[in-house]
Structure 1
Amino acid sequence: MDDAKAVLLRYLSTAREALLWKLEGLSEYDVRRPLTATGTNLLGLVKHLACVEAGYLGNVVGRPFPEPMVWDDPDAGDDDLWVRADESREDVLALYARATAHADASVAALPLDATGEVPWWPEERRHPTLHTLLVHVLAEVSRHAGHADVLREGLDGAAGLRRDDDNLTRDGDADRAAYVAVVEEAAAMFR
């Protein structure tokens, strides 16, 4: 049987990698610009997840992240969801690398039944175990990696889980176009 911690970290690592490769090869403008009506942008997702990982798998479990973060500024608002012009892509990616390394070190140092405190969660859930926090972070990273996948596909057609194996069932433009046509035909029945 696989060690529960190792399994969770393996899935978390896969989701992190999927997120990061969505930025590869894109211009500074494309990684920063709002791609939805709510302003979602690729590099902002990475910055946000640096905060999520440093927070839930650091501060919450009594292992504070050792540098100031957006949430330390009460006037910051949603500043973790976008990247200011004075922040470089390299800065944000390096922050994410430090945050994930810190999160991984916390997971390595603590048992899965260690408890933390999440002051902004309802009282009945305010003291989750590291196991629960790992599942929460895995869900959050996977959710945003999915957002990044859709955003990147909209930019240039790149899609899938991995750079070396997209994990998609359709190969080539013709096969994908045929599939999209079948899906559209079925949907059109309900216009």
Structure 2
Amino acid sequence: MTTSPQNPAPFLPGEHAELLHALAEQRALLLITTRDVTDAQAAERTTVSELTLGGIIKHLARGEQVWTQIMVKGDGELPEGMLDLEQYRMAEGETLAGLLEQYTAAAHRTEESVAALPDLGLNVPLPKTPWSPPETVHWSARRILLHLIRETAQHAGHADIIREALDGANTTAQR
């Protein structure tokens, strides 16, 4: 199945496909906010928040990478870069096109990994973070997917506000 954040996976029966389709729909809404945006616009702050369109795409790509790794490896280890605050910023020399390629690759890896899971009820230990409780916490693959859907939807809303502040465009006007 060849998909991208811009081209959601076709609907197939089953919980795996339904959750992946919901995630793909949120990705597609998010990416409307990047249409016809220059690299300079993608790096521009338009609100009091530090968030930018490029930073959101970079963060969500990294988020899918680390959460997919947590789900697939199931070893409770902290994925490299998970806590790196630079994932929220478009760095000097980065392009929106490059960040979108990373996001597409991360989305494809997530879809492949989820499709390969025999059961979304599979529980995996979460990595220890500075805010973790002392005991090991486990999440199911299902809950990880729901987390990715929520995170993508939340940041799609942020991106819509940023884009509207940039040039008046928004997801409602661009569908």
Normalising by structure 1, report the TM-score: 0.72
Residue by residue over 1:66-116, the C-alpha shift from the partner in whole angstroms, topping out at 9 and shown as x without a partner, is: xxx9707x8xx4110011112222221111111111111111011201122
What are the Cα deviations for residues 23-46 of structure 1, in whole angstroms up to 9, with x where unaligned?
111222111112222311001000
Deviation at 1:21, TM superposition (A): 1.9
1:147 and 2:155 are equivalent in the alignment: no
Query: Structure 2: any 5+ residue segments left out of the alignment?
Result: 1-12
Map of 1:175 onto structure 2: none
Partner of 2:124: 116
Separation in structure 2 between the aligned mates of residue 125 and residue 18 of structure 1, nearest angstrom: 35
Which is bigger in relative contact order (C-alpha 8 A, separation at least 6)? 2
How many angstroms apart in 2 are the aligned matches of 1:58 and 1:36? 33
Structure 1 stretches of 4+ with a deviation exceeding 6 A read none
Percent of matched pairs sharing the same residue? 29
Tell me, yes or no, if the aligned pair for 1:32 and 1:42 is still in contact at 8 Å.
Answer: yes
Cα distance change of structure 1 residues 10 and 162 upon mapping to structure 2, 3 Å threshold: farther
Match of 1:71 in 2: 81
Q: How much does 1:156 deviate?
A: 2.0
Match of 1:98 among 79, 101, 105: 105
Equivalenced residue count is 156
Based on CA coordinates, which of the two structures has the bigger radius of gyration?
Answer: 1
Task: Name the CA distance, whole Å, in 1 between partners of 2:165 and 2:68.
Answer: 32
Report how far residue 59 of structure 1 moved. 3.3
- Distance (Å, rounded) in 1 between the aligned partners of 2:140 and 2:95: 35
The letter of the residue matching 1:93 is L
Matched with 2:47 is 36
Q: Tell me which amino acid in the other structure corresponds to 2:158.
A: H
2:122–2:140 contact (8 Å) kept in structure 1: yes
Task: Provide the rounded CA distance (Å) in 2 between the counterparts of 1:79 and 1:115.
Answer: 29
Is it true that 1:47 corresponds to 2:54 in the alignment?
no
Partner residue in 2 for 1:188: none
- Tell me the secondary structure at the aligned position of residue 128 of structure 1: strand
SS at match of 2:139: coil
Structure 2: distance between partners of 1:101 and 1:60: 15
Q: 1:116·1:127 contact (CA, 8 Å) conserved in 2?
A: yes
5+ residue gaps, structure 1: 165-191
State which drifts further: 10-19 or 26-35.
26-35
